């Protein structure tokens, strides 16, 4: 059975790189009818934040990545870690080191001065025939793993292929601090072992941790899981993604008006592909995703692609869903008589839910002011005469407001009879009804608003002579 996990630290918000990693892990587990776990790595008590933890859970709920079982918290598993530290001490695969912080700093400074890679000098490593220094008084020891001194540490990475590290890459690193608290690489290994992880999908910033974790697996006599190290997401210039580029809180995407399906679709394509396909339902992701097909090179964040995807999802989801989503942005269309009509019209032009809201309100609400550039360009001396004549036409054809096509059928002959060009009448109508020249089709707006509202807005615009003061 495939078992995967996502294991964030609650020291900050969940960003899109973390969400992509969790998505890949989720897809691989679900595709194989396996288990996907959520584990909170909260052993760094000084940096942990309850607010950050809440944000992680909130983000998972928003995007719909369901995890199996209860959330695991490393901070509640301290006794388990101590048990395995003692096992390694008893087996001789770990040992106590009494070197003080001052001694370690002096050793590091000496090695750096000699242009050597800083590493522990094995002063307290027990070996046959070696006499260890006397244990100093008042010094609480750290616990170090006995790392191999010769050979190579090898593993097959599902993304990068065969990986090998010379044994010198890993020194006898600390697995428990002097206060008894275990270190990151140790607790991760113990948790992954006890939770029976089969596949670890994570960012390639963790690649350097893998040899250390394999040393711990070997010391425990346990087979390590499969590793997949996913390249980073870069900005369009190929540099590290910043908050300005998109490396922000996942929940900020909700606040910016993105649908969760669009964000997941965007992320799955940042590092993985299926030929030229761009839009994937969750079912298609589950059917097609395989971590072995993750790209070896870093991917580039593309805001335009995300906006395009979001616009496609806005068009495709039900109006009932859009009504619920818009409530988050303080717009409730539940009781609006022409909610479907205004949504069908507005969602064709919206890249985000915020744009959708604006487009709806531009039509639904009577304009408080008129676009000055549009007024200057399209409001002429004969505009009042044309609009009054058009109102008269509409008044005589109120029954034509039953469909867009019927409104079009009565308007086109009117335009021809007056010898007008379309912008000469349509732009003044748009300005009258919405205050802008960028609104959707005039026929659609007329249909949505109905005769009484159309007449009222046009007459008000004429009364004010399209002035904002």
- SS3 for 33? coil
* CA contacts within 13 A on the Cβ side of 436: 12
Length of the chain: 469
Is 391 in a helix, a strand, or coil? helix
Whole-angstrom Cα distance, residue 366 to residue 358? 13
137 vs 442: CA distance, rounded Å: 87
Q: Is 243 annotated as a binding residue?
A: yes
In this structure, the dihedral spanned by the alpha carbons of residues 359, 360, 365 and 368, taken in order and rounded to 10 degrees, is -10
Contact 442, 426 (CB under 8 A): yes
Task: State how far the Cα of 442 lies from the Cα of 431, in Å rounded to an integer.
Answer: 10
* Closest residue by Cα to residue 60 from 101, 19, 7, 103: 19
Q: If we measure between CA atoms, which residue out of 330, 373, 367 comes closest to residue 449?
A: 367
At 239, phi and psi to the nearest 5?
Answer: -105, 175
Q: Strands, E, within 167-234: which ranges?
A: 174-176, 199-203, 226-230, 233-234
Task: Record the tokens describing residue 71, joined without a space.
Answer: 């959330």
- Name which of 226, 229, 217 is nearest 193 in CA terms: 217
| Separation between Cα atoms, residue 90 and residue 92, nearest integer Å | 5
Backbone angles phi, psi at 383, to 5 degrees: -60, -45
Question: Binding site for ATP, residues?
Answer: 243
Question: Binding site, residues?
Answer: 243
């Amino acid at each position: 059975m495939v078992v995967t996990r996502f294991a964030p630290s609650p020291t900050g918000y969940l960003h899109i790189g973390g969400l992509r990693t969790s998505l890949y892990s989720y897809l691989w587990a679900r595709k194989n009818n396996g288990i996907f776990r959520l584990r909170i790595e909260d052993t760094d008590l000084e940096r942990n934040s309850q607010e950050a933890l809440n944000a992680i859970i909130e983000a998972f709920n928003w995007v719909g990545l369901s995890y199996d079982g209860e959330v695991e918290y490393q901070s509640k598993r301290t006794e388990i870690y101590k048990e395995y530290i003692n096992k390694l001490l008893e087996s001789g695969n770990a040992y106590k080191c009494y070197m003080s912080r001052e001694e370690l700093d002096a050793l590091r400074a000496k090695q750096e001065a000699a242009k050597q890679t800083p590493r522990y000098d094995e002063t307290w490593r027990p070996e046959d025939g070696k006499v260890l220094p006397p244990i100093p008084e008042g010094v609480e020891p750290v616990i170090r793993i006995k790392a191999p001194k010769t050979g190579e540490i090898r593993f097959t990475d599902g993304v990068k292929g065969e990986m090998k590290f010379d044994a010198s890459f890993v020194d006898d690193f600390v697995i428990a601090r002097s206060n008894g608290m275990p270190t990151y690489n140790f607790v991760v290994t113990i948790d992954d072992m006890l939770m029976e992880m089969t596949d670890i999908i994570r960012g390639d910033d963790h690649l350097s941790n893998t040899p250390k974790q394999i040393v711990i697996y070997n010391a425990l006599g346990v087979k390590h899981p499969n590793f997949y190290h996913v390249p980073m997401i870069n900005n369009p210039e190929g540099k590290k993604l910043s908050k300005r580029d998109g490396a922000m809180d996942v929940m900020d995407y909700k606040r910016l008006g993105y649908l969760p399906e669009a964000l997941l679709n965007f992320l799955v394509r940042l590092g993985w592909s299926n030929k030229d396909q761009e839009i994937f339902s969750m079912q298609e992701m589950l059917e097609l995703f395989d971590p072995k097909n993750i790209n070896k090179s870093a991917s580039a964040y593309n805001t335009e692609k995300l906006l395009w995807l979001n616009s496609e999802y806005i068009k495709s989801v039900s109006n009932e869903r859009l009504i619920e989503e818009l409530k988050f942005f303080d717009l409730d269309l539940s009781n609006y008589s022409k909610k479907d009509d205004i949504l069908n019209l507005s969602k064709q032009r919206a890249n985000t839910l915020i744009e959708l809201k604006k487009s709806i309100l531009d039509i639904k609400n009577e304009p408080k002011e008129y676009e000055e550039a549009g007024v200057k360009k399209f409001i002429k001396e004969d505009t009042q005469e044309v609009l009054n004549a058009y109102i008269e036409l509409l008044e005589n054809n109120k029954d034509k407001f039953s469909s867009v096509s019927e409104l079009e059928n009565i308007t086109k002959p009117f335009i021809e009879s007056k010898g007008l060009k379309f912008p000469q009448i349509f732009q003044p109508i748009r300005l009258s009804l919405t205050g802008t020249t960028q609104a959707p089709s005039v026929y659609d707006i007329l249909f949505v608003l109905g005769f009484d509202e159309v007449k009222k807005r046009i007459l008000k615009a004429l009364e004010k002579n399209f002035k904002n003061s």
